[in-house]
Chain A
Amino acid sequence: MRVKLPTPLVDYTHGVREVEAVGETLDGLLHDLDRQYPGIRFRMIDEQDTVRAHIKLFVNGELERSLITPLNARDTIIVVAALSGG
């Protein structure tokens, strides 16, 4: 499925803003992203599997905080780096 990434993460994808990844849940998708782009998951998700404070995950336009959210192959995931100060 398509995953759109914010600019703070494109160092991991060699500058590409939109990538493909697979997973039956958000957690599975994020692990697949990390397999393809090592290190990217920990910048978004902490060691307690909590989405970091300034990261938001949208599935088909809906904000999701739970990593067990199920996904379908046609879903579009948008990762947003929210405002975080100066």
Chain B
Amino acid sequence: MATTAASKGTVVLVGTRKGLFVLLGDARRQKWRAEGPHFLGQIVHHAVRHPTTGTILVAARAGHLGPTIFRSTDFGKNWKEASSPPAFPKSTGDGYGWSVNHVFWLAPGHASEPGVWYAGTSPHGLFRSNDDGVTWQSVDGFNLHPDRAKWLGGSQEAPPDGATLHSINVDPFDKNHIYVGMSSGGVFESRDAGITWTPLNRGCVAEFLPDPDAAYGHDPHCVRVHPAAKNVVYQQNHCGIYRLERNENRWTRIGDNMPKEIGDIGFPVVLHPRDAKTLWVFPMDGTSVWPRISVEGKPAVYRSRDAGGSWQRLDKGLPAAQAWFTVKRQAMSADQHKSVGIYFGTTGGEMWASFDEGDSWHCLMLHLPHIYSVEASSR
């Protein structure tokens, strides 16, 4: 199926601080054109195309206005707003009086449930839609969990743009098994479709916590569950790159195998759609005051072909110096072609792509607004 779909071309949804852009590549990924902006001026934290139905959901808010979700079932010709966007339960005076600042992450549900989507918000919240994004319901098992406040810490633990629930992954082998990442809070999983939750952070370093073996409170930047291989989970954390040893429920720091002068700090991690041992990261400077830009101004993607046992620097075609890229956690993605395409966007508005699994890089577009998210799929 992937070959047929890929023959029609590739779609890259680019969410930016000022709207949504759509990059369309031909079947050979040689010619590209840009469409948009859609929702000009609105902050688009994430835009995702459902792999089965083709529905596109866009998480948007404007500087003045509250958050919402737009949806299109005809590839962006027409957009409709969700009739009830993600919203926390109304406070009953017991202290649960949160309001969604913005929807940060969108994720399709299990393949067997094509109308299901999940949304993660800031502040931390998990929401589910059963009707392809038209209406959204609070996942109360998480949102009203009595330990929620303990897991998440206070505002001092939040990233600059606010605390977020992100990295929602539905286990492709179990529709009721859901992973989420929280910054901060850590990785949690539910095996009953969100009713109960368990922290999943053993082995993960949290240098900013007094207890290095704390059960929660960590800062996963991006967690990816492999779409085709059972129990394969990788994580780019605030404190390194990890692979989950599912049999032991413990994370192994595969970032220790990165070159010491580069380190293993970054935001995104991207998995090969078929090969469970191949993954890509974009290392950024995590020294001193954490500049979080390409190390020494020399951007490079790193790839592992052996599940993190070793890493290869991939910088052919990228600027050789004075290029201070920041790539956010949603802003790197893979397509499904035989030779996998990798795409990333920078906070400086540059879109880069590789059509040979990272061996060489091409600039697809310059001068976009600050890029928040990049999602590639086949048409």
How many angstroms from the CA of A82 to the CA of B81 in the assembled complex? Answer: 23
A45 to B90, alpha carbons, bound, how many Å? 13
Q: In angstroms, how far is the closest chain A Cβ from the Cβ of B88?
A: 5
Q: A38 and B91: CB pair below 8 A?
A: no
Contact in complex: B83, A50 (CB < 8 Å): no
Chain A interface, DSSP helix/strand/loop, else mixed: loop
Query: A52 to nearest B CB, angstroms?
Result: 5
> A48 contacts B83, CB within 8 Å?
no
Which A66-84 residues have C-beta < 8 A from chain B?
81-82, 84
Are B99 and A47 closer than 8 Å at their CB atoms? yes
Query: A54 near B: Cβ within 8 Å?
Result: yes
Contact of A52 among B66, B88, B91 (CB under 8 A): B66
With an 8 A cutoff between CB atoms, is B64 at the interface?
A: yes
Q: Is A9 a contact partner of B65 (Cβ separation < 8 A)?
A: yes
Complex-state Cα separation, A9 to B65, whole angstroms: 8
Are B87 and A81 in contact, with the CB atoms below 8 A?
no
> Are A43 and B83 in contact (CB-based, < 8 A)?
no
Central interface residue in B65, B85, B87, by most chain A CB within 10 Å:
B65
The smallest C-beta distance from A6 to any residue of chain B, in angstroms, reads: 7
Total contacts A to B, CB within 8 angstroms? 55
A46 within 8 A of B: yes
Cα-based distance from A85 to B81 in the complex (angstroms): 25
Taking a contact as CB atoms under 8 Å apart, the answer to whether A43 and B68 are in contact is yes
Residues B64 and A6 in contact, CB atoms below 8 Å apart: yes
Contact of B90 among A6, A42, A48, A55 (CB under 8 A): A48
Residue total for A at the interface (Cβ-Cβ under 8 A): 21
CB of A15 within 8 A of chain B? no
Q: Provided the pairs A38-B81, A47-B99 are in contact, do residues A52 and B65 lie with their beta carbons within 8 angstroms?
A: yes
* Residues in B neighbouring A47, C-beta threshold 8 A: 87-90, 99-100
Q: Give the dominant DSSP class at B's interface.
A: loop
A85 in contact with B68 given A38-B81, A39-B83, A50-B99 (CB within 8 Å): no
Of all chain B residues, the one with the shortest Cβ separation from A42 is B66
Bound-state Cα–Cα, A50 to B88, Å: 13
- Which residues of chain A in 15-57 are interfacial with respect to chain B, using CB atoms and an 8 Å cutoff? 38-39, 42-50, 52, 54-55
- The answer to whether A8 touches B97 (Cβ under 8 A) is no
CB distance from B316 to the nearest CB of A (A): 36
> Do the beta carbons of A84 and B81 come within 8 Å of each other?
no
- Cβ-defined contact, B97 with A81, below 8 A: no
Q: Which residues of A contact B89 (CB under 8 A)?
A: 47
B340 within 8 A of A: no
Residue B158 CB within 8 A of the other chain: no
Decide: A81 and B99 in contact? CB cutoff 8 A.
no
B210 at the interface (CB under 8 A from A): no
Q: In the complex the two chains form, is A84's CB within 8 Å of B100's CB?
A: no
Contacting residues of chain B (32-71) with chain A, CB-CB under 8 angstroms:
62-66, 68
Residues of B within 8 A of A44 (CB): 65-66
A57 to chain B, nearest CB (A): 13
B64 (CB) vs chain A CBs: closest residue:
A81
A59 to chain B, nearest CB (A): 19
Known interface pairs A47-B99, A48-B99; A42-B87 also in contact (CB < 8 Å) = yes
Q: What residues of A have a CB within 8 angstroms of the CB of B99 in the complex?
A: 46-48, 50
Given contacts A49-B90, A81-B64, A85-B63, 16 further A-B contacts (CB under 8 A): A8-B62, A8-B64, A8-B65, A39-B81, A39-B83, A42-B85, A43-B62, A43-B66, A44-B65, A45-B66, A46-B100, A47-B87, A48-B97, A48-B98, A50-B99, A84-B63
Query: Which 5 A-B pairs have CB atoms at the shortest separation, nearest pair first?
Result: A84-B63, A46-B99, A81-B64, A47-B87, A43-B65
| Interfacial residues, chain B to chain A (CB-CB below 8 A) | 62-66, 68, 81-83, 85, 87-91, 97-100
22 interchain pairs (CB within 8 A)? A6-B64, A8-B65, A38-B81, A39-B68, A42-B68, A43-B66, A44-B66, A46-B66, A46-B100, A47-B87, A47-B90, A47-B99, A48-B88, A48-B90, A48-B91, A50-B99, A52-B64, A52-B65, A52-B66, A54-B63, A81-B65, A84-B64
